[in-house]
Amino acid sequence: MVDYIIVGSGLAGIAFAETLLQNNKSFVVIDNHSQNSSRVAGGLYNPVILKRFSQVWNANEQLQLADVFYKRIEEKLVVQVDFKLPIYRKFFSIEEQNNWFAASDKPALAPFLSTSIIHKKYAAIDAPYGYGEVLHTGYLNTTIFLDHYLKYLRLNNWLIEVKFEHSALLTNEEYVEYMGTKARHIVFAEGFGMHANPFFKHLPLDGTKGELFIIRAPDLDLDVIINTSVFILPLGNDLFKVGATYNWEDKSNTPTEEGKQELVERIKEIISCDFEIVKHFAGVRPTVKDRRPLIGTHAKYKNIHILNGLGTRGVMLAPALALDLYASIEEGKPLEKAVDIKRYNITS
Ligand SMILES: Cc1cc2nc3c(=O)[nH]c(=O)nc-3n(C[C@H](O)[C@H](O)[C@H](O)COP(=O)(O)OP(=O)(O)OC[C@H]3O[C@@H](n4cnc5c(N)ncnc54)[C@H](O)[C@@H]3O)c2cc1C
């Protein structure tokens, strides 16, 4: 008997596994690598929604928890995964500059928006109106993070790399049983794969496909993340991650010609130097209609839980939500209504 079975080893599943380790609970993780949202993600964390100049929901708390969480993993696995880097928003007009200053006056945004215009020159970027700098930003290199954490799970025999078949789950008052493994609880962290899960099929997980590139651009001397219609993130050695597109129709993980054309056009709007596409990825973000995560406990089965709906912000959300779900299961601490799946309980 283990304490938990976790289905999914993306950002959500890993955050929950790590929370269990911190609390001396035993677990196994099951994953068949059928979804890759966490692996392909840009990995940016940014407390400000730049399109609307509003603070990300619960940004302060999430940033603080994420900082501690990723630092602890870096120390444990002896690898850097969290790269603190400024995000620059390029201004296209005086009006945009004025909007930035107005936003930076708001108490919720003041800690995150610098109040001076940056006129740094990058050879391949024309920015006559300068940039605004968002503070407390950076990116998680999700490929390094997943590679190292999955290796750590494998070394400890905590990872089973097979497809989870929901029909084989046996439920019981005190425990669940899956293929001979008994567990006090099961947590589903399947990302967009949730659509195959009969226990949570009533939840409105939407799914928004995104495509990204890694490009090589030797003449792009960028040392910060630029975020306008797409982000450009320097990886070193003349390589940059660029993304992402948003597609609400196609729910596959396959890169498309359409996505490629869109990204190429967007890149050309920002940089004037040559670039070569080194890799082209795609994944489906587990987005929700009301833009809030889906966490909590099944209405009928008290030992079946979900950690999903991390949407476009898995890096910041995962550590905080894993803690909240854990406290709700083990300590009976109520979840915030905005994220609790109870908001979708069928009442009739
Ligand atoms: C193009 C793109 C760019 C993004 N950029 C950013 C960004 O810059 N910053 C940010 O914070 N977020 C970003 N995101 C969003 C972020 O990636 C997601 O919020 C996050 O990865 C979701 O993590 P998850 O663990 O819930 O889902 P996933 O990463 O999809 O993990 C789910 C796991 O469950 C497994 N699974 C599912 N079903 C089964 C089954 N039946 N049996 C076994 N295993 C199963 C899958 O194989 C997968 O490993 C981006 C996403 C995309 C696609």
Nearest CA residue ID for atom 3, ligand 1? 41
Asked whether 315 lines ligand 1 (CB < 6 A), one says: yes
pLDDT score of 34: 96
Cα–Cα distance measured from residue 324 to residue 41, given in angstroms and rounded to the nearest whole number: 23
* Ligand 1 centroid, distance to 190 Cα (angstroms): 8
**Cross-strand bridge partners of residue 212:** 243, 281
Has residue 294 got a pLDDT over 70?
Answer: yes
The yes-or-no verdict on residue 287 having pLDDT over 70 is: yes
What is the per-residue pLDDT across 173-229, written as a single tens digit (0 to 9) for each? 899 999 999 999 999 999 999 999 999 999 999 999 999 999 999 999 999 999 988
Q: Which two tokens stand for residue 347?
A: 């009442």
pLDDT score, position 347: 58
- 3-class DSSP assignment, residue 229: coil
Nearest alpha carbon, ligand 1 atom 33 = 8
- For ligand 1, say whether the CB of 193 is within 6 Å of any of its atoms: yes
Query: What token pair was written down for 118?
Result: 């940056």
The residue whose CA has the least distance to atom 27 of ligand 1 is 191
Tell me, in angstroms, the distance from the centre of ligand 1 to residue 285's CA: 6
- Closest of 217, 244, 283, 271 to residue 44, by C-alpha: 244
Whole-angstrom Cα distance, residue 125 to residue 122?
A: 5
Is it the case that residue 334 has pLDDT exceeding 50?
Answer: yes
Rounded to an integer, what distance in angstroms lies between the CA atom of residue 37 and that of residue 70?
A: 18
Which residue's alpha carbon is at the smallest distance from atom 53 of ligand 1? Answer: 283
Query: Among 312, 313, 316, 321, which residue has the most ligand 1 atoms within 8 Å of its CB, making it the best to mutate?
Result: 312
317 dihedral zone (left: phi>0; alpha: psi -120 to 50; beta): alpha
**29 touches ligand 1 (CB under 6 Å):** no
Q: Which of 19, 37, 45, 200, when mutated, tests ligand 1's pocket best, judged by the most ligand atoms within 8 Å of its CB?
A: 37
Which pLDDT belongs to residue 346? 66
Q: How confident is the model at residue 348 (pLDDT cuts 50, 70, 90)?
A: very low
Residue 290 C-alpha to ligand 1 middle, in angstroms? 18
> pLDDT tens digits, residue range 117-129?
999 889 899 999 9
Instruction: Provide the CA 61 distance to its chain's centre, in angstroms.
Output: 16
CA–CA gap between residue 127 and residue 125 (Å, rounded): 6
Q: Are 38 and 315 in contact (CB under 8 A)?
A: no
